[in-house]
């Protein structure tokens, strides 16, 4: 881009033998050409032009996403070192002084075009590699999630009443964690990745039921004291199975840590009267506190051999009544504020021929 017809003619004749050349005799025209497809691979920009000078044009080029990556060579009659330094400091890739010497111009143009092709190739390769990494990570995540649900379904086959319990409780846990991520008590723990790990591990909360004998697990009536003691061992059984998986892994797997906490402690109570370790308050892992509420809510709104499903409003009030006793007060408050989302999740993953939360005791 030059304001002198003679210089434009010289540059045109010099370059057109090897390249497609477009010329402009003003800054405004230069900007228009640069933004028009096909965009130039390289711009030769005269510093001294009427109206906008070359530096102003360059700033405009760099200010637009469509033109900011086009390499620019400044062309000028000035030969002071500070002028060259200024042009390069602006971000120009090279600096050519007049009078133009054809071999120098051609060599520098050729060099910059080769460098641009190399940068473009690297950018394309990086984009391909990033896409490939994302694809493989997606595949790995899918395999991981499928494996988790396969293991969880193993426990579910022993307890056919659970239905879509896994999907519902997973949704509840993610909802609670999302509501609490900005809470002062939990902000440091409920990061985006942590919430993903929590939700991913939630379906494994009852994996330990595979170790409970059928005559206890499937008993339609009330369990005896001895049977209830055996039933409670499913928490420790599940946690130990996950701990063994951790030991077998070649490197740490983040979600397994959450899964182990949830499996062992989702029956603990805020007041310390739960099982298996009678933990209380903040000694109960946060992951398990979230799972505890999610699990109980889903049990309340679902049909069991020993009870009909409770209506949503009744289940909500029963959970609220246990605030500070069975459940973490702040987790309970998050549940109440997210109650509409809980209902939506319950309906989305309702068991076949079942309407969760629509029981006969509607309030």
Residue 191: predicted pLDDT: 93
- Domain extent, residue 276, equals 159-348
* Predicted confidence (pLDDT) at residue 11 exceeds the cutoff of 80: no
Q: Are residues 293 and 172 in the same domain?
A: yes
Q: Are residues 180 and 67 in the same domain?
A: no
Measured distance CA(246)–CA(254) in Å, rounded: 10
pTM for the structure as a whole: 0.61
Q: Are residues 197 and 91 in the same domain?
A: no
Residue 238: which pLDDT band, with cuts at 50, 70 and 90?
very high
Q: H-type helices in 164-285, by residue range?
A: 165-180, 192-201, 214-217, 225-232, 234-248, 254-265
Q: Are residues 170 and 98 in the same domain?
A: no
DSSP label at 55?
Answer: H
* Predicted confidence (pLDDT) at residue 361 exceeds the cutoff of 50: no
Boundary (domain end) residue, out of 101, 126, 151 = 126
Measured distance CA(218)–CA(304) in Å, rounded: 11
Residue 116: predicted pLDDT: 87
DSSP 285-320: -HHHHHHHHHHHHHHHHS-BTTBPPPPHHHHHHHHH
Q: Are residues 122 and 43 in the same domain?
A: yes
Would residue 150 count as lying in a domain? no
Q: Are residues 100 and 164 in the same domain?
A: no
Per-residue burial over 103-125, b if 16 or more Cβ lie within 10 Å, else e, is eebeebbeebeeebeeeeeeeee
Angstrom distances, CA of residue 187 to CA of 173, 177, 254: 16, 10, 18
Q: Are residues 98 and 190 in the same domain?
A: no
Q: Are residues 122 and 181 in the same domain?
A: no
Q: Are residues 199 and 316 in the same domain?
A: yes
In CATH, what number is assigned to the domain containing residue 99?
3.40.50.2300
Measured distance CA(42)–CA(67) in Å, rounded: 11
Would residue 274 count as lying in a domain? yes
Measured distance CA(363)–CA(282) in Å, rounded: 33
Residue 93: predicted pLDDT: 86
133-146: pLDDT as tens digits: 777 776 666 666 66
Q: What average pLDDT does range 121-125 have in this prediction?
A: 85
Would residue 135 count as lying in a domain? no
Would residue 134 count as lying in a domain? no
Q: What average pLDDT does range 76-101 have in this prediction?
A: 75
Instruction: Give percent of the chain with pLDDT exceeding 90.
Output: 38
């Amino acid at each position: 881009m030059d304001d002198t017809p003679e210089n434009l003619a010289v540059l045109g004749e010099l370059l057109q033998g090897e390249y497609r050349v477009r010329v402009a005799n003003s800054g405004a025209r230069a900007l228009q050409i640069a933004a028009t497809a096909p965009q130039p691979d390289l711009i030769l920009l005269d510093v001294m032009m009427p109206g906008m000078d070359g530096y102003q044009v360059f700033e405009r080029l760099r200010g637009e996403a469509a033109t900011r990556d086009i390499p620019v060579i400044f062309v000028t009659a000035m030969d002071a070192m500070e002028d060259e330094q200024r042009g390069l400091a602006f971000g120009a890739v090279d600096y050519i002084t007049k009078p133009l010497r054809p071999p120098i111009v051609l060599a520098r143009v050729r060099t910059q075009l080769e460098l641009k092709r190399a940068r473009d190739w690297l950018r394309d390769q990086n984009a391909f590699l990033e896409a490939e990494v994302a694809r493989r990570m997606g595949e790995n995540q899918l395999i991981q999630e499928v494996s988790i649900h396969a293991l969880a379904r193993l426990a579910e086959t022993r307890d056919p009443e659970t239905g879509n319990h896994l999907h519902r409780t997973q949704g509840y846990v993610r909802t609670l964690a999302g509501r609490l991520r900005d809470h002062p008590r939990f902000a440091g723990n409920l990061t985006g990745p942590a919430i993903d790990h929590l939700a991913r591990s939630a379906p494994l909360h009852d994996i330990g039921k595979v170790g409970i004998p059928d005559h206890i697990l499937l008993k339609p009536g009330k369990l005896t004291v001895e049977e209830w003691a055996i039933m409670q061992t499913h928490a420790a059984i599940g946690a130990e199975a996950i701990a063994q998986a951790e030991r077998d892994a070649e490197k740490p797997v983040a979600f397994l840590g959450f899964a182990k906490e949830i499996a062992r402690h989702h029956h603990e109570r805020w007041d310390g009267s739960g099982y298996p370790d009678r933990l209380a308050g903040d000694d109960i892992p946060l992951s398990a506190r979230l799972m505890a509420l999610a699990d109980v809510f889903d049990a309340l709104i679902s049909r069991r051999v020993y009870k009909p499903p409770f209506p949503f409003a009744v289940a909500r009030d029963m959970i609220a009544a246990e605030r500070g006793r069975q459940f973490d007060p702040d987790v309970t408050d998050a549940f109440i504020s997210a109650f509409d989302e809980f209902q939506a999740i319950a309906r989305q993953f309702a068991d076949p021929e079942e309407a969760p939360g629509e029981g006969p005791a509607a309030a």
